[in-house]
Structures are given as structure tokens and as C-alpha cells.
């Protein structure tokens, strides 16, 4: 079984526009079912994926459920870019392009 970390953050539903707390899986840093929130610093020294202290990197994030708990539609965005600067998780945005991840190991790409 492969391990991942989880970013817990709010996402908005495109249908009812309500926000709810979601779990977004990603693999960067010590990858061992660790839970993070926006503003947390990624830790290293274990099952490491990636390189510490990169200036700016995007990690590939995938949400655990696309179902909105309010309206029950399944339109929540599934894939995200998780922006990480100097190991601090800055925020998420809907994935711009899967192609960005093809040049690395599929889990992250270096922005600068």
C-alpha cells in the first residue's frame, strides 16, 4: 500500500456554493499519513518524496470525496495544485494542467 499525506482545508461546491472541510491527499515531504492545514510546514526525515527547502513547488493533490455534504452532488473539483513555498503549505488551486507533473515523478513539480 502506498502512503500519502492529507491536507485538510475548505473547498467550495460549484453547485450550491457552500464551503466544507475536505481531505486532499498528496505526496511530498515525509509521506506517512500526516495531516496538515494551510500554513503548516511540511516535515522531512522518513519516507521522503521530493526535496526539502525548495523555493516554490506544487504538489499534486487529489480530493478524497467529490460529493458535496450539503447538496449531495458530485461536482467538487477532484485534482489540485498545492502550492508549497520553502516547505510551508500556502494554498490550493484547481489543477492547471496534469502535464506539469509528467516531467518529475508525478507527485510534484518545481515552479522556481
Which residues make up the interface to Zn ion (CB under 5 A)?
Answer: 13, 15-16, 68, 70-71
At 72 the three-state DSSP class reads coil
In this complex, which beta carbon is closest to Zn ion, that of residue 13 or of residue 57? 13
- Name which of 38, 49, 47, 22 is nearest 84 in CA terms: 38
- Name which of 53, 63, 36, 50 is nearest 109 in CA terms: 50
In this complex, which beta carbon is closest to Zn ion, that of residue 33 or of residue 65? 65
Q: How far is the CB of 16 from Zn ion (least distance, A)?
A: 3
Q: How far is the CB of 23 from Zn ion (least distance, A)?
A: 17
Q: How far is the CB of 63 from Zn ion (least distance, A)?
A: 14
In this complex, which beta carbon is closest to Zn ion, that of residue 33 or of residue 72? 72
Are 28 and 7 spatial neighbours (Cβ–Cβ below 8 Å)? no
- Name which of 60, 58, 68, 64 is nearest 90 in CA terms: 58
Q: How far is the CB of 9 from Zn ion (least distance, A)?
A: 17
In terms of DSSP bridges, do strands 35-36 and 5-12 run parallel, antiparallel, or are they unpaired?
Answer: parallel
In this complex, which beta carbon is closest to Zn ion, that of residue 13 or of residue 42? 13
Amino acid at each position: 500500500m502506498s502512503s500519502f499525506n492529507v491536507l485538510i482545508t475548505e473547498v467550495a461546491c460549484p453547485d450550491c456554493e457552500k464551503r466544507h472541510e475536505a481531505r486532499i491527499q498528496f505526496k511530498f515531504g515525509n509521506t506517512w499519513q500526516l495531516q496538515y492545514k494551510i500554513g503548516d510546514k511540511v516535515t522531512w526525515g522518513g519516507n521522503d518524496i521530493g526535496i526539502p527547502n525548495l523555493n516554490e513547488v506544487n504538489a499534486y493533490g487529489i480530493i478524497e470525496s467529490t460529493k458535496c455534504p450539503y447538496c449531495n452532488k458530485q461536482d467538487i473539483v477532484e485534482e489540485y495544485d498545492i502550492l508549497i513555498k520553502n516547505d510551508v503549505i500556502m494554498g490550493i488551486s484547481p489543477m492547471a494542467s496534469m502535464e506539469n507533473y509528467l516531467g518529475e515523478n508525478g507527485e510534484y513539480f518545481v515552479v522556481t
